[in-house]
Structure 1
Amino acid sequence: MNQTANANLFARLFDGLDDPSRLAIETHDGQRITYGDLIARAGQMANVLVSRGVKPGDRVAAQTEKSVSGLVLYLATVRAGGVYLPLNTAYTLNELDYFIGDAEPTVVVCDPAKAEGIRTLAAKVGATVDTLDASGKGSLTEAADKAATAFTTVPRGADDLAAILYTSGTTGRSKGAMLSHDNLASNSLTLIDYWRFTKDDVLIHALPIYHTHGLFVASNVTLFARASMIFLPKLDPDLIINLMARATVLMGVPTFYTRLLQNPRLNKETTSHMRLFISGSAPLLADTHREWFARTGHAVLERYGMTETNMNTPNPYDGERVP
């Protein structure tokens, strides 16, 4: 790719948007966020990040519960030329001390309940701390609500960093896997083609957004395709089965499928509107694969990836999906 062109992932996601009123995200509590809304919110939050001192290449760390504002924070970071660092919500202060010390972020965003302890850690690297709770409220969104929506997306090269995700190595402590703008964009565009995503797809998004599966695969693929997602805070088997009547794709981990199989309402009728069930992040047992097909008539498309690479190889879209 031409390194002089703006390869910023945000620009590639949203430049050329022909219908800002198109629905991008629907939440479990009835919020409806259009593509235009998403761009505007990302502009407001990018303005806040810049006001907090974020410059191109600076890290923005986030340990927050899943919310639309959390997804906007990722988009705003990339838009501002920063490097997004999502952190597992289960990490302790001792673990965060290592990640924050290693990555040296400029801004750390956390749940208000954890802010006091995290401020002590952030002070060691001179980072600013903002808050964001499970409902998407906090000092970050309070500031963003007062900020301008206009923001010029910062130019980035294809090989410039867009994100760092810490992942367990075979030895020693977790290592930060560095992912470029083109890593994320090219993987998403390949998956759209391979998995036949279109603007008519509706994804049930019940994954966390602190790892590659929920953040990059599910979210980026949906947005690049101009599709929409139903954004759920967590796995809720009854709700997911209800939503299948108007959704087309579910991305999940094996636990999703074993939990859904425990629900007597799962059958060929309740899944008839769905076109694709995808499983990853851990191996899907062959028995689960066979039982799912027997109950629903759908063969789960299992795929394998790594934090360092995103997706590497899946079952075929067409042809036999071998358990």
Structure 2
Amino acid sequence: MLHSNSLIGKSNPAAYHFTKYISSINYANFLHSQPKTASFNDLIPSFIKAQEFPNNVAIRDKFRSHSYGDLLTKSHQLSHFIKKKLNDNRSGAKKVSALLCPNDSRYVVSMWGSWMAGSLVLPMSGKHPENLLNYFLQDSSTNVLITTEEYRHVAQKLKDKNPNVYNIFFMVKVTEDLMDRPALIVYTSGTTGNPKGALHTHRTISTMIHGMIDRWGWSQDDVILHALPLNHVHGVINALLTPLTSGACCVMLPKFDPELVWDMILNRKTSTTSTKHQQQRQQQHQQQHQQRSNPNIFMGVPTMYNMLIDSLQQKVEGERWKLSDRDRNKFLGAVKNFCQENIRLFVSGSAPLPLPIIQKWEELTGHTLLERYGMTELGMVFTNFLNGPREPGYVGRPFPLVDVAIAKNINQSERGYEILSVGNEDGTKVFTDGNEVTGELLVKGGTVFSGYLNKEEATSQAFTSDGWFITGDTVSYSQSKDSYKILGRTSVDVIKHGGFKLSALEIENYLLKHENIREVAVLGVKDEKWGQKVFAVVVLKNRDVPFNVDDVRKWCRLHMASYQVPSDFRVVDDLQRNAMGKINKKILLSLYARD
């Protein structure tokens, strides 16, 4: 594990040489070479693309290193088994394979094998309660549940309730038909009701993947440290299928552990295995593939970055290490230098990124987090520049093959909306006066899902009459910055207060600057006088320090406009988040903001 004396002091020769080593490296040598422009004229599924580099290491997990060829062979074998189990080769029959697998190579084999068998894939999480897993299986009409020994008990219970589902335990030419065939079901977070299954085809998935390869410069030389859940777009497509399509290597962790992530990022050679035999096997494979074992990319959600910051700060400031100011500064300087010279990309997404996290991460690592914006139904929509300015709070410009519009009066006219601006990867055209335009985001393009599973009415309501997907998010576009900013969900993050439209996310960023506020969720509560009033639910850094509402309001008036100051506060122990770090504000409203 990571220790304080591992990076500082001549008293530790290995540490001294490590510090000397990272200070001598020329940063330019670690900058990625300019990638070739991705072509979108020949999109193919990722498992077929893998044939181009069969000998490359695709994944390192707790078992060993797995080449692309290994994964393809096992996937092909599994596909035959799936077909045999289903005993149904009719092209028109819908087949759904649900995956309940850990974060390792078996997940990839299950996904690719299912696709080779012509199945839709439904990724599920072992952390979900049994009733939700059962809902997913029934709502999606799953035929096959592919799982591992770790989840045998859960799988058997699901089988008992779904006798028509086959349980499978672990023991090509591309056509237009394949590209447009449904490939993946990803369920939404369900903040407005039951989760909805968003259907993606091989074409929409491939468009997302090639867009990220193009914009983020993926290559065969990259190694990503993967600690994200595999039942969301972020973990499945961004952090797994994209590197596997580009020939990169994925180092997969069973779960997110901030101390282990730091060890892996800082190249501490921490093993992800639990037995001596497995450690010996992994050391052999590491010697064979040493050049592909050190991560240079990490993707996470804001909560993960916040936990990484806390983990490092607790070590250097805690009683356990008892560092002097000099040694603390030397250690943090070594961490920053190492990250600048060895890590090429840190990406944050899936939830709003608070400004204090951006600032603290840059202070610790020298990296400005690359913030992007996407949705389950759309994949990636906006991204900041890989090589260029990244404005905190902004999410950049549209991905390739993605068209966006900012509109108002949604569903209030014959057309269904009033356009304020339209944009794509080449630029944005504004039809109003002023530097900034604000409204609801609409999206078209090659990444848009084909519809919600078994929910025709919900699918119809999600689109305008001429095919724009209605995101439900309010955004602004700055002409001077040539960049978009997400103001939040129109239903819960835009507070209508006395004629103002306030962004809850902006107010949250202000409040996070308070010395004793660790986390915050700002809500709009009904108010007879103002329409809505600003209400803040906060988690304190130190519960022993009294939280005086009047004093906090005085502090707020020094840092934000008077109409943004919360009229009431509620202190709680925890803000309940989902696996991707999102807060369900409608639940918070029902719990803490009753009339």
Matches within 5 A, 1:181-192: 181-192=202-213
Q: Which residue does the alignment assign to 2:401?
A: none
Structure 2 counterpart of 1:13, one-letter code:
K
The 1:288/1:61 distance shift into structure 2, 3 A limit, reads same
Is 1:77 aligned to 2:114, yes or no?
yes
Matched residue, 1:32: 65
CA distance in 2, matches of 1:31, 1:165: 29
The match for 2:184 among 158, 163, 167 is 163
1:141 equivalenced with 2:174 (yes/no): no
Count of residue correspondences: 296
* Residue in structure 1 matching 2:156, options 116, 133, 157: 116
Q: Which moved more, 1:255-264 or 1:270-279?
A: 255-264
> What are the within-5 Å matches in structure 2 for residues 253-268 of structure 1?
253-262=301-310, 263=312, 264=316, 267-268=335-336
Is 1:9 equivalent to 2:30 in the alignment? Answer: no
Partner of 1:100: 137
In the alignment, what sits opposite 1:307? 376
Matched with 1:146 is: none
Gaps of 5+ in 2: 1-40, 268-293, 317-330, 393-595
Partner deviation per Cα, 1:264-319 (whole Å, 9 max, x = no partner): 46631331300000011111111000111111111100111111111111122122
| More deviation, 40-49/85-94 | 85-94
1:90 Cα deviation (Å)?
A: 2.7
Q: How much does 1:153 deviate?
A: 6.6
Match of residue 129 from structure 1: 167
Name the SS of the counterpart of 1:293 in structure 2.
helix
How far does residue 158 in structure 1 lie from its aligned partner after superposition?
A: 2.2
On the 8 A contact 2:47/2:112 being kept in 1, the answer is no
* Structure 1 CA distance for aligned equivalents of residues 352 and 107 of structure 2: 28
- CA apart distance, 1:184: 0.5
* SS of aligned partner of 1:84: strand
Please give the TM-score of this superposition, normalised by the length of structure 2: 0.47
CA 287–40 in structure 1, closer or farther in 2 if over 3 Å, else same = same
CA distance in 2, matches of 1:241, 1:187: 29
Determine whether 1:273 maps to 2:342: yes
Mean Cα displacement is larger for which, 189-198 or 229-238? 229-238
Separation (CA, whole Å) in 2 of partners of 1:62 and 1:154: 24
Q: Hey, what's the Cα distance between the residues in 2 that align with 1:170 and 1:256?
A: 21
- Which letter does structure 2 place at the counterpart of 1:254? P
Mapped to 1, the partners of 2:55 and 2:50 lie a distance apart of: 13
CA 93–260 in structure 1, closer or farther in 2 if over 3 Å, else same: closer
Query: Pick from 212, 228, 233: which aligns with 1:207?
Result: 228
CA separation in 2, counterparts of 1:184 and 1:204? 21
Q: Secondary structure at the match of 1:173?
A: coil
Seen in structure 2, the aligned counterparts of structure 1 residues 83 and 42 have a Cα distance that, compared at 3 Å, is same
Output the amino acid matched with 2:252. F
Bigger drift between 61-70 and 294-303 goes to 61-70
Distance 1:122 1:33 in 2: 34
**CA distance in structure 1 between the partners assigned to 2:42 and 2:371 by the alignment:** 34
Deviation at 1:35, TM superposition (A): 1.0
AA at the equivalent of 2:260: L
Shift of 1:91: 2.5
Contact 1:24 1:228 in 2 (8 A): yes
CA distance in 1, matches of 2:153, 2:190: 30
Tell me by how many angstroms 1:66 deviates. Answer: 2.3
- Give, as a single letter, the amino acid of the residue that structure 1 aligns with 2:123: P
Larger Rg: 2
Greater relative contact order structure (CA < 8 Å, 6+ sep): 1
Match of 2:273 in 1: none
Q: In the superposition, relative to structure 1, how do residues 108 and 6 fare at CA in structure 2: closer, same or farther (>3 Å)?
A: farther
User: Structure 1 residue 172: deviation in Å?
Assistant: 3.4
Write 1 or 2 for the structure with the bigger share of strand. 2
Structure 2 CA distance for aligned equivalents of residues 92 and 30 of structure 1: 27
RMSD of aligned Cα (Å): 2.2
Residues 52-71 of structure 1: CA deviation (Å, up to 9, x unaligned):
11655410012333231122
Per-residue deviation, residues 24-79 of structure 1 (Å, max 9, x unmatched): 1112x361101111111111211221121165541001233323112210111112
Identity of aligned residues (%): 31
CA change 1:274–1:229 in 2 (3 A) is same
1:133 is matched with which residue?
none
Cα deviation for residue 20 of structure 1 reads: 1.7
Change (3 A) 1:82 1:8: farther
Gaps in structure 1 of 5+ consecutive residues: 131-139, 143-151
- The match for 2:298 is 250
8 Å CA contact retained: 2:60, 2:250? yes
1:269 is paired with a residue of what secondary structure?
helix
Contact 1:58 1:83 (8 Å CA) reproduced: yes
